[in-house]
Amino acid sequence: MRPELTLPTGHASSPTDRRLNALLRHLSSSSSSSSSAMDTNNSISPSPTSAFQHDSVFSHVVQAPEDPILGVTVAYNKDPSPVKLNLGVGAYRTEEGKPLVLNVVRKAEQQLVNDRARVKEYLPIIGLAEFNKLSAKLIFGADSPAIQENRVTTVQCLSGTGSLRVGAEFLAKHYHQRTIYVPLPTWGNHPKVFTLAGLSVKTYRYYDPATRGLNFQGLLEDLGSAPAGAIVLLHACAHNPTGVDPTLQQWEQIRQLMRSKKLLPFFDSAYQGFASGSLDADAQSVRMFVADGGECLAAQSYAKNMGLYGERVGALSIVCKTADVAGKVESQLKLVIRPMYSNPPIHGASIVAAILRDRNLYSEWTIELKAMADRIISMRHQLCDALRARGTPGDWSHIIKQIGMFTFTGLNSKQVTFMTKEYHIYMTSDGRISMAGLSSKTVPHLADAIHAAVTRVV
pLDDT tens by residue, the chain, 458 residues: 444 444 444 444 565 566 656 555 655 554 444 444 444 445 555 555 555 567 899 999 999 988 877 788 888 999 999 999 999 878 899 998 899 999 999 999 999 999 999 999 999 999 999 999 999 999 999 999 999 999 999 999 999 999 999 999 999 999 999 999 999 999 999 999 999 999 999 999 999 999 999 999 999 999 999 999 999 999 999 999 999 999 999 999 999 999 999 999 999 999 999 999 999 999 999 999 999 999 999 999 999 999 999 999 999 999 999 999 999 999 999 999 999 999 999 999 999 999 999 999 999 999 999 999 999 999 999 999 999 999 999 999 999 999 999 999 999 999 999 999 999 999 999 999 999 999 999 999 999 999 999 999 88
User: In this structure, what is the dihedral angle of CA atoms 412, 418, 424, 429, given to the nearest 10 degrees?
Assistant: 30
**How large is the angle between the packed helices 359-389 and 443-456, nearest 10 degrees?**
40
Asked if residue 450 belongs to a domain, the reply is yes
Q: Which of 290, 323, 357 is the last residue of a domain?
A: 357
What is the rounded distance in angstroms from the CA atom of residue 87 to the CA atom of residue 437? 5
**Would 9 be classed as within a structural domain?**
no
State whether 129 and 74 are in the same domain.
Answer: no
8 A C-beta contact, residue 131 and residue 137: no
Task: Let me know whether 305 and 210 are in one domain.
Answer: yes
**Residue 300 and residue 253 share a domain:** yes
- Residue 412: CA count within 13 A, CB half-sphere: 7
Q: Is residue 295 a contact partner of residue 321, using CB atoms and an 8 Å limit?
A: yes
β partners of residue 85: 425
Residue where one domain finishes, among candidates 357, 386, 401: 357
Strands 313-319 and 264-269: unpaired
Domain presence at residue 29:
no
- My answer on whether 386 and 329 are in the same domain is no
Provide the angle, in degrees to the nearest 10, between the axes of the packed helices 347-357 and 129-140: 50
Which residues partner with 93 through β-bridges?
99
Find the domain containing 226 and state its range: 122-357
| SS3 state at 253 | helix
The helix/strand/coil state of 411 is: coil
CATH number at residue 392: 3.90.1150.10
Residues 319 and 170 placed together within one structural domain of the fold: yes
Q: Answer yes or no: do 155 and 185 share one domain.
A: yes
Query: Does residue 65 have a cis bond before it (omega within 30 degrees)?
Result: no
**Does 292 map to a domain?**
yes
Considering Cα of 365, then 367, then 372, then 373, what sign does the dihedral take?
positive
Do 229 and 192 lie in a common domain?
yes
The residues that bridge with 285 in the sheet, in sequence order, are: none
Whether 149 is covered by a domain: the verdict is: yes
Query: What is the CATH number for 173?
Result: 3.40.640.10
Residues 318 and 419 in one domain: no
- Domain assignment present for residue 141? The answer is yes
Measure the CA–CA gap between 71 and 85, rounded to whole angstroms. 14
Determine how β-strand 85-86 pairs with β-strand 425-426. parallel
129 and 271, same structural domain? yes
In a domain, 432, yes or no: yes
Query: Do both 261 and 311 map to the same domain?
Result: yes
Same domain, 268 and 389: no
Cα–Cα distance for residue pair 300/135, rounded to 1 Å: 8
Residue 352 located in a structural domain: yes
Tell me which residues are annotated as active site. Answer: 187, 268, 304
Question: Are 128 and 180 contained in the same domain?
Answer: yes
